[in-house]
Amino acid sequence: LYTSKILGIETSCDDTGCAIIDDSGRVLSDVLHSQNLIHLRNGGIIPDIAQDLHRTYIGPTVSKTLQQACLSMEDISAVAVTLKPGLPLSLAVGMKYAKHLARQYDKPIIPIHHMEAHALVARMEHDIVFPFLVLLISGGHCLLAIVKDVNNIQLLGESRDSAPGEVFDKVARRLKLKNIPEYSKLCGGEAIERAAMKSTDHSMFKLPLPLTDHKDCNFSFNGLKTSVLYHIHKKEKEHNIVADKLIPEVNELCASMLNAITKHLIHRTQRAMEFCQRNKLIPDNNKQFIVSGGVACNNYIYNCLKTLCEETEYSIFRPNPKLCTDNGLMIAWNGLEKWKKGLDITKDYKSLDIEAC
Ligand code: KG4
Ligand code: ZN
């Protein structure tokens, strides 16, 4: 019996991901090559370096994915690949490779929106039906949306400035957290979460709660970030901190910051829930809330969202951590959802161009 098989390729930022899924939703293989350690050493992602690494690893990653599934390209029904949003230089590598494969083996391509993939992948593990409310929090994004169907997403609000993961990463660098051996290989958000959990005081540092008087679902993190950086500067002066030394209040500051960011996320999510109920955008008898994206790996944030959902009678779902951060499987899954509905499947390869976004 022939079953469709979708190959997914993700290269929007700093992870080269590839996976294969069959039409029953079974994962046949899933491979990820992370550039995290290299960017950690460089103090952030340098787009040219990210592109070079994608170029080096895309071929081997795809080959390994096929090998793990004991399949060859002839067995694949379609190639799903991230079209946007992301770093244009990184996106271009995945798209170029997908086109090369598709041309060589005469396969259709299914272009994928990275954020839609983050939102839909929760349906792979959980029995979630449309419509549902989603909060996507990552290093590049922060948004609230109603997912009405595959290809039909209503944006409720997004960040006016930076994303929460970006703020975690920046503050972790400024705090020199990677000088602590147990944090040296962690991304900023995870290091801050671990440090915060060592503190018993979650409000030693006063930080502003953004946009409290804005009656919308948008976010803003720059004020918080500036305030945290100011506290670091002040403490460094106070304690005469030089070079690689850390401030003694590092755990408390991480805890205050995590608490402030969480409060902002909760505040805006609560507004979105009220908006959805008032306008009957989410049915009262099936209120589903999904949180995804790299920052959703944070258990403190997740537990606070869970408490909110208990109060508002929403069921909460979170993909497992490997599916929350960037990965090829979410692209394959989104490809499968589109494949089943006959959406966006194309052999007009020329129409698929990466634009700056
Ligand atoms: O979704 P993702 O892999 O890539 C983007 O599309 O941005 O998210 C990566 C981001 C990084 O900024 C990282 O610091 C953050 O997710 N992150 C966390 C945690 N684990 C990863 N932030 C807070 N707490 C965590 N445990
Ligand atoms: Zn992402």
For residue 114, the ligand closest to its alpha carbon is 2
Using CA atoms, how far apart are residues 39 and 16, in angstroms rounded to an integer? 14
Using CA atoms, how far apart are residues 325 and 335, in angstroms rounded to an integer? 18
Q: Cβ neighbours of residue 283 under 8 Å, at least 6 residues apart?
A: 131
Q: Please give the structure tokens belonging to residue 337.
A: 């959802």
Smallest CA-to-CA distance from 284 within 133, 95, 113, 84 is with 133
pTM for the model stands at 0.93
Smallest CA separation from ligand 1 atom 16, residue: 294
Using CA atoms, how far apart are residues 206 and 208, in angstroms rounded to an integer? 7
Q: Ligand 1 mean position to 3 CA, how many Å?
A: 34
Smallest CA separation from ligand 1 atom 21, residue: 294
Question: Using CB atoms within 10 A of its CB, is residue 276 exposed (0-12), middle (13-18) or buried (19+)?
Answer: buried
Note the Cα 30 to chain centre separation in Å: 17
Smallest CA separation from ligand 1 atom 14, residue: 189
Q: Ligand 2 mean position to 293 CA, how many Å?
A: 6
Residue 356: what pLDDT? 46
Query: Which residue is associated with the tokens 């944070």?
Result: 298
The minimum-distance atom of ligand 1 relative to the CA of 165 is: 12
Q: Ligand 2 mean position to 141 CA, how many Å?
A: 8
Using CA atoms, how far apart are residues 139 and 237, in angstroms rounded to an integer? 30
The minimum-distance atom of ligand 1 relative to the CA of 164 is: 12
Q: Ligand 2 mean position to 179 CA, how many Å?
A: 26
Residue 345: what pLDDT? 95
Please report the ipTM that was assigned to this predicted complex: 0.98
Using CA atoms, how far apart are residues 228 and 214, in angstroms rounded to an integer? 22
Three-state SS string across the chain, please?
CCCCEEEEEECCCCEEEEEEEECCCCEEEEEEEECHHHHHHHCCCCHHHHHHHHHHHHHHHHHHHHHHCCCCHHHCCEEEEEEECCCHHHHHHHHHHHHHHHHHHCCCEEEEEHHHHHHHCHHHHCCCCCCEEEEEECCCCEEEEEEEECCEEEEEEEECCCCHHHHHHHHHHHCCHHHCHHHCCCCHHHHHHHHHHCCCCCCCCCCCCCCCCCCCCCECCHHHHHHHHHHHHHHHHHCCCCCCCCCCCHHHHHHHHHHHHHHHHHHHHHHHHHHHHHCCCCCCCCCEEEEECHHHHCHHHHHHHHHHHHHHCCEEECCCHHHHCCCHHHHHHHHHHHHHHCCCCECCHHHCCCCCC
pLDDT in tens, the chain (357 residues): 679 999 999 999 889 999 999 999 999 999 999 888 888 778 778 888 889 999 999 999 999 999 999 999 999 999 999 999 999 999 999 999 999 999 999 999 999 999 999 999 999 999 999 999 999 999 989 999 999 999 999 999 999 999 999 999 999 999 999 899 999 889 999 999 999 999 999 999 999 899 888 889 999 999 999 999 999 999 889 898 877 888 888 999 999 999 999 999 999 999 999 999 999 999 999 999 999 999 999 999 999 999 999 999 999 999 999 999 999 999 999 999 999 999 999 999 988 887 644
Q: Which residues line ligand 1 (CB under 6 A)?
A: 13, 138-140, 165, 168-169, 187-190, 193, 293-295, 297-298, 325-326
The answer to whether residues 24 and 2 touch, using CB atoms and an 8 Å cutoff, is: no
Q: Ligand 2 mean position to 92 CA, how many Å?
A: 16
Peptide bond into 248 cis (omega under 30): no
Q: Ligand 1 mean position to 70 CA, how many Å?
A: 32
Using CA atoms, how far apart are residues 172 and 181, in angstroms rounded to an integer? 14
Q: How far is CA 170 from CA 63, 86, 123, 138, 299, in A?
A: 35, 19, 32, 13, 20
